């Protein structure tokens, strides 16, 4: 599928657009926009309406700017059952909700490639936890959050062999490959995740999902494609049927089955990584069991609804009554009614079954179809006034339509080939509205050329009136997929400013200059170093020998907001450290040559930042240079000053 290019892209901006996105210097934006970074593996944070970039949050990928995945403390966050995996593909964001409304506590993101879900703490804008998902491959349909953040839910894109029998011919797909959807519990207070249960499903591809809300709160809806169960040339073979499915899961019922012991515990292996705020250290634990529910043993838990054709997005409206399926190859947008779904289930109004799972009659569950909406519908968001906004990849547009009467109200071009879109609060029970943001796949001629790859881009539209109005283009990092926007006031008041030094429980912390020291343990040298404007203690170290590994444990003693110190040493083949006030972070360094190695602070912290430096002397293996360290106070030879004498 290729996008067509709308004409007249310059002329569509109306006169007062600039004033609507202008946030004067020193003023704040109204919304935070959390944007997935796609193949960058990160999440980025923009202000709306300005489109200004505030932060890139490292999640699944190492980030040398912040030492993420390079410091000894953060490395365990990227541990998996496959070992250290320093990259992933982050597609979707889910902000935590209470009673279906944003509560500003956490953001969740998926790793598409090596299935994982991360939880980002919105007090610190840091990844606090990463849980790997077993029995999954291509964690695309993830993470989608239930009405009170009871679960973040994850469906597998690729079906794969589940269980012990892994070494099977690919052409035995139909008999040996299965899907799963996982319900990951979220602790109400701490946010800590655990895999509550998985549901074993037919071997198709699960693409996206949404939780029900309001009347449909106990349900979860997943779009599925490849109901043909093709395993090769999916472009053709997975587009044979006229309709694929939306899978409706009664998760309240699944919860009951899990409690009643209907599940089977399966042996698996997955990593669960938690960042401890008091030790400033991540711990990775390998788990080895997961509870699996089989719909065969759990009646009335899973249903399929036919959905035209190769559905991608699957979205529930603010009331929870309507479920919108967006078939990439469909000529209409089907809208399903939750009430009708319940009636059809009660009356067993089925159209046979799919692998033993009842298929509800299309006409019986359909609220109606949006006719001639556009080409290549992907995703739908909602405002608070009963309107839906659907992105169209092929026809490069956003189409606004009315949920009740299914009439198209307005359409605007996007530049170009929109994927996801976002209305602030769009997936919640109370959308904040105001804007819709398009996340485009192609920018072509929109920006100054930068070689073969152009910047990725978002576009901001005003939706406060009847007609949508383009206001702004702004570049984004990675490839943005889903994004959410939330009022700034829900987050900024809780923002962490420093880590309290007296609460620092890192075993390698040096809580004060006079605790700074250097110790040898075999071939390990542990440098307990402090940093405060504008010096390191110690700043000179001698007695390191080839073959040693030096651990620089740097504690930032500052207790002021926005005063990180950095740390880097010449020749280190990892990255810098960036240490927040009150925090301790560790850089491991194995010098490979004899010599003098400068080290310095990388973050311009003070007028004397350039003075914030030191040296490490590395001697040959077997040398008898004693291990010494010094600071200004203990400097062995202070030069005599003769010029000042009177």
Tell me which residues touch ligand CUA (CB under 6 A). 531, 565, 601, 603-605, 609, 612
Strands 311-316 and 322-327: antiparallel
Name which of 105 and 328 has its Cβ closer to ligand RUQ. Answer: 328
- Taking the complex as a whole, the smallest distance from the CB of residue 208 to ligand RUQ amounts, in Å, to 6
- Taking the complex as a whole, the smallest distance from the CB of residue 312 to ligand RUQ amounts, in Å, to 6
Work out what residue 603 binds among ligand CUA, ligand RUQ, none; the CB cut-off runs from 5 to 8 Å by kind: ligand CUA
Name which of 156 and 273 has its Cβ closer to ligand RUQ. Answer: 156
Secondary-structure percent of the chain, ordered helix, strand, coil, rounded to 5: 10, 45, 45
- Taking the complex as a whole, the smallest distance from the CB of residue 140 to ligand CUA amounts, in Å, to 42
Contact 423, 386 (CB under 8 A): no
**Which H/E stretch holds residue 630?**
strand 628-630
Number of Cβ within a 10 Å radius of residue 160: 18
Contact 17, 427 (CB under 8 A): no
d(CA 465, CA 347) in angstroms, rounded, equals 43
Work out what residue 419 binds among ligand CUA, ligand RUQ, none; the CB cut-off runs from 5 to 8 Å by kind: ligand RUQ
Dihedral sign for Cα 74, 291, 314, 177, please: positive
Instruction: Pick the closest to residue 348 from 359, 337, 335 (CA basis).
Output: 359
Give, in degrees to the nearest 5, the angle at Cα 210 between 200 and 312.
Answer: 85
Instruction: Pick the closest to residue 92 from 480, 396, 443 (CA basis).
Output: 480
- Taking the complex as a whole, the smallest distance from the CB of residue 604 to ligand CUA amounts, in Å, to 6
Q: Residue 496 phi/psi, 5° resolution?
A: -70, 135
Work out what residue 481 binds among ligand RUQ, ligand CUA, none; the CB cut-off runs from 5 to 8 Å by kind: ligand RUQ
- Taking the complex as a whole, the smallest distance from the CB of residue 106 to ligand RUQ amounts, in Å, to 20
- Taking the complex as a whole, the smallest distance from the CB of residue 424 to ligand RUQ amounts, in Å, to 18
Work out what residue 57 binds among ligand CUA, ligand RUQ, none; the CB cut-off runs from 5 to 8 Å by kind: none
Q: 513 is written with which tokens?
A: 């200059």
For 212-238, the three-class secondary structure string (H helix, E strand, C coil) is CCHHHCCEEEEEEECCCCCCCCHHHHC
Work out what residue 254 binds among ligand RUQ, ligand CUA, none; the CB cut-off runs from 5 to 8 Å by kind: none
Work out what residue 506 binds among ligand RUQ, ligand CUA, none; the CB cut-off runs from 5 to 8 Å by kind: none
Name which of 246 and 578 has its Cβ closer to ligand CUA. Answer: 578
Work out what residue 432 binds among ligand CUA, ligand RUQ, none; the CB cut-off runs from 5 to 8 Å by kind: none
Work out what residue 604 binds among ligand RUQ, ligand CUA, none; the CB cut-off runs from 5 to 8 Å by kind: ligand CUA
- Mapping DSSP to helix (H, G, I), strand (E, B) and coil, where does residue 288 land? strand
Contact 267, 244 (CB under 8 A): no
Q: 236 is written with which tokens?
A: 């053709």
Alpha helices in 289-403 (DSSP H): 338-346, 362-365
- Taking the complex as a whole, the smallest distance from the CB of residue 112 to ligand RUQ amounts, in Å, to 7
Work out what residue 420 binds among ligand CUA, ligand RUQ, none; the CB cut-off runs from 5 to 8 Å by kind: ligand RUQ
Contact 320, 214 (CB under 8 A): yes
Name which of 144 and 629 has its Cβ closer to ligand RUQ. Answer: 144
Report the residue count for the chain. Answer: 646
The residue at minimum Cβ distance from ligand RUQ is: 419
Name which of 358 and 419 has its Cβ closer to ligand RUQ. Answer: 419
- Taking the complex as a whole, the smallest distance from the CB of residue 391 to ligand RUQ amounts, in Å, to 8
- Cis peptide upstream of residue 49 (ω within 30 degrees of 0): yes
Work out what residue 340 binds among ligand RUQ, ligand CUA, none; the CB cut-off runs from 5 to 8 Å by kind: none
Strand order across the 595-600 sheet = 577-579, 565-569, 595-600, 613-619, 540-545, 628-630
Name which of 293 and 601 has its Cβ closer to ligand CUA. Answer: 601
> Between the CA of residue 253 and those of 217, 295, 358, 530, what are the distances in Å?
12, 11, 16, 54
Work out what residue 609 binds among ligand RUQ, ligand CUA, none; the CB cut-off runs from 5 to 8 Å by kind: ligand CUA
Name which of 63 and 558 has its Cβ closer to ligand CUA. Answer: 558
Name which of 377 and 564 has its Cβ closer to ligand CUA. Answer: 564
Name which of 432 and 565 has its Cβ closer to ligand CUA. Answer: 565
Number of Cβ within a 10 Å radius of residue 54: 14
Name which of 609 and 617 has its Cβ closer to ligand CUA. Answer: 609
- Taking the complex as a whole, the smallest distance from the CB of residue 417 to ligand RUQ amounts, in Å, to 9
Work out what residue 529 binds among ligand CUA, ligand RUQ, none; the CB cut-off runs from 5 to 8 Å by kind: none
d(CA 552, CA 263) in angstroms, rounded, equals 48
Name which of 34 and 629 has its Cβ closer to ligand RUQ. Answer: 34
Name which of 30 and 89 has its Cβ closer to ligand RUQ. Answer: 89
Alpha helices in 455-584 (DSSP H): 489-492
d(CA 162, CA 177) in angstroms, rounded, equals 7
Q: 54 is written with which tokens?
A: 């505030």
Dihedral sign for Cα 194, 44, 85, 144, please: positive
Instruction: Pick the closest to residue 548 from 522, 572, 567, 529 (CA basis).
Output: 522
- 184, β-bridge pairs: 152, 195
- Taking the complex as a whole, the smallest distance from the CB of residue 512 to ligand CUA amounts, in Å, to 17
Name which of 208 and 247 has its Cβ closer to ligand RUQ. Answer: 208
d(CA 495, CA 121) in angstroms, rounded, equals 10
Q: Which residues bind ligand RUQ (CB under 6 A)?
A: 91-92, 140, 208, 312, 378-379, 419-420, 481-482
Work out what residue 89 binds among ligand CUA, ligand RUQ, none; the CB cut-off runs from 5 to 8 Å by kind: none
- Mapping DSSP to helix (H, G, I), strand (E, B) and coil, where does residue 237 land? helix
- Taking the complex as a whole, the smallest distance from the CB of residue 616 to ligand RUQ amounts, in Å, to 46
- Taking the complex as a whole, the smallest distance from the CB of residue 439 to ligand RUQ amounts, in Å, to 8
- Taking the complex as a whole, the smallest distance from the CB of residue 533 to ligand CUA amounts, in Å, to 6
């Amino acid at each position: 599928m290729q996008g067509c290019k709308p004409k007249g892209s310059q002329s569509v901006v109306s006169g007062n657009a600039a004033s609507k996105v202008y946030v004067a210097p020193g003023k704040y934006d109204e919304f935070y926009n959390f944007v997935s970074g796609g193949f960058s593996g990160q999440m980025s944070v923009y202000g709306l309406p300005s489109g200004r970039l505030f932060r890139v949050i490292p999640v699944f990928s190492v980030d040398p700017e912040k030492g993420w995945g390079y410091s000894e403390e953060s490395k365990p966050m990227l541990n998996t059952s496959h070992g250290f995996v320093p990259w992933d593909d982050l597609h979707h964001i889910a902000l935590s909700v209470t009673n279906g409304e944003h509560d500003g506590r956490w953001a969740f993101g998926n790793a598409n490639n090596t299935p994982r879900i991360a939880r980002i703490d919105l007090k610190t804008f840091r990844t606090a936890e990463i849980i790997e998902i077993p029995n999954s491959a291509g964690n695309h349909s993830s993470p989608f959050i239930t009405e009170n953040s009871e679960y973040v839910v994850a469906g597998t894109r690729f079906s794969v062999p589940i269980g012990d029998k892994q070494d099977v011919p690919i052409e035995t797909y139909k008999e040996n490959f299965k899907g799963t959807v996982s319900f990951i519990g979220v602790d109400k207070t701490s946010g800590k995740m655990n895999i509550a249960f998985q549901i074993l499903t037919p071997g198709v591809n699960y693409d996206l999902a949404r939780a029900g809300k309001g009347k449909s709160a106990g349900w979860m809806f997943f779009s599925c494609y490849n109901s043909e169960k093709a395993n090769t040339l999916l472009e053709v073979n997975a587009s044979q049927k006229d309709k694929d499915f939306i899978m409706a899961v009664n998760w309240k019922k699944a919860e009951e089955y899990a409690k009643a012991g209907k599940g089977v515990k399966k042996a698996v292996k997955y990593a669960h990584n938690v960042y401890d705020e008091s030790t400033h250290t991540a711990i990775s634990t390998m788990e080895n069991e997961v509870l699996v529910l089989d719909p065969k043993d759990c009646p009335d838990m899973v249903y399929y609804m036919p959905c035209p054709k190769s559905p991608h997005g699957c979205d529930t409206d603010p009331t929870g009554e309507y479920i919108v399926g967006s078939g990439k190859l469909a000529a209409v947008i089907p809208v399903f009614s939750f009430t009708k779904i319940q009636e059809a289930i009660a009356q067993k109004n089925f159209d046979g079954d799919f692998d033993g799972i009842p298929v509800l009659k299309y006409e019986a569950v359909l609220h109606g179809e949006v006719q001639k909406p556009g080409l290549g519908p992907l995703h739908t968001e909602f405002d608070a006034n009963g309107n839906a906004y659907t992105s169209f990849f092929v026809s490069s547009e956003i189409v606004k339509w009315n949920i009740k009467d299914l009439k198209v109200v307005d359409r605007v071009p996007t530049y170009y080939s929109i994927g996801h879109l976002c209305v602030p609060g769009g997936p919640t029970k109370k959308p904040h509205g105001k804007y819709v943001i398009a996340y485009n796949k192609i920018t072509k001629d929109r920006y100054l050329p930068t070689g073969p790859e152009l910047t990725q881009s978002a576009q901001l539209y005003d939706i406060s009136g009847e007609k949508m109005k383009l206001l702004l283009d702004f570049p984004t990092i990675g490839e943005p997929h889903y994004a959410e926007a939330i009022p700034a006031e829900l987050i900024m008041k809780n923002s962490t400013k420093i880590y309290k030094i007296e609460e620092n429980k890192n075993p390698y912390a040096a809580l004060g200059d006079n605790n700074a020291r250097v110790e040898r343990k075999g071939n390990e040298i542990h440098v307990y170093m402090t940093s405060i404007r504008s010096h390191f203690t110690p700043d000179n170290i001698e007695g390191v020998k080839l073959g040693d590994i030096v651990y620089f444990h740097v504690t930032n003693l500052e207790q002021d907001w926005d005063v990180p110190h950095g740390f880097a040493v010449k020749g280190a083949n990892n990255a810098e450290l960036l240490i927040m006030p009150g925090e301790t972070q560790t850089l491991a360094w194995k010098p490979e040559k004899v010599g003098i190695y400068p080290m310095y602070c990388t973050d311009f912290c003070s007028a004397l930042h350039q003075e914030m430096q030191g040296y490490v002397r590395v001697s040959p293996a077997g040398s008898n240079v004693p291990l010494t360290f010094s600071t200004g106070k203990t400097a062995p030879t202070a030069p005599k000053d003769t010029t000042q004498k009177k």
